[in-house]
Amino acid sequence: MSNRNAVPAEKRSRRALIDSLKQDGPQDAASLARRLGVSAMAVRQHLYDLEAEGLVTHEAEARPAGPKKTGRPAKLWALTPAADRFFPDGHADFTVGLINSMKQVFGPEGLDKLLQLRAKEQTASYRARMDKQPSLPKKLQALAEIRTAEGYMAEVQKANGGYLLIENHCPVCSAAAACTGLCNMELEVFRKSLGRGFKVERSDHILAGARRCAYLVTRKD
């Protein structure tokens, strides 16, 4: 009797390919095919699909010194950071546990002081890049680039006489749920980074059930 819950062979091969790249590092398609016991053509199709999803990348294999060789250098495929989601990650539980421990050791006031220090450092770092920009759109774009590098998948859109700074992902959501001061700090950091001439209001909040966090930024009258 067939098992309807069995994982399809194609998905098993795809996962085995990801695991091999994680465990053994960058490899070419031929090496992966030998390891997995499938055809090189099947491996290449998986790799191109994974590349389209942003999960793998490739670079040309460095050729050894010596006589000039003919033919194209092999592509060495490697996982991107986006593939980390396929592997166990205990950082969220660790962070939440650390926050709870800090509450016990330092108390609410002590934790607030730590958050204020972090906010001060973050604001200084953001302003170092944003202050160089000549206009609000460029300042926000610089901020979005910083936040994207930090894992927030940020973007900027025009809206309601101003601009929306949108964060499509929250890499610290578990920590923010355990410590609401993190979200308050984030809002304050944005306000201080932009300066007194601008108003920043949160319009969407992941912790309130929205699919994203969004901030409406307008000029003050």
* Model pLDDT for residues 153-178, shown as the tens digit of each residue: 899 999 988 999 999 888 888 788 88
What is the length of the chain?
221
pLDDT of residue 4: 44
Residue 116 confidence class, pLDDT cut points 50, 70, 90: very high
C-alpha 35: how far from chain center: 30
Characterise 8 by phi-psi region: left (phi > 0), alpha (psi -120 to 50), beta (else): beta
Q: Where are the domains of the chain?
A: 9-61+71-85, 91-219
Q: Does domain 9-61+71-85 have CATH number 3.40.50.150?
A: no
CATH topology of domain 91-219: Muramoyl-pentapeptide Carboxypeptidase; domain 2 (3.30.1380)
Residue 1 has pLDDT above 60, yes or no: no
Position of tokens 């994207």? 148
* Mean pLDDT score across all residues of the chain: 87
Amino acid at 204: D
Q: Which residues pair with 154 in a beta bridge?
A: 167
- The model's pLDDT over 22-73, given as tens digits with 9 standing for 90+, comes to 888 899 999 999 999 999 999 999 999 999 999 999 988 765 555 555 556 7
H or E, element range at 53:
none
Strand intervals (E) in the chain: 56-60, 75-79, 154-159, 162-167, 198-204, 213-219
Higher pLDDT: 220 or 64? It is 220
In terms of pTM, does the model score above 0.75? Answer: no
Query: What is the rounded CA–CA span in Å between residue 138 and residue 176?
Result: 28
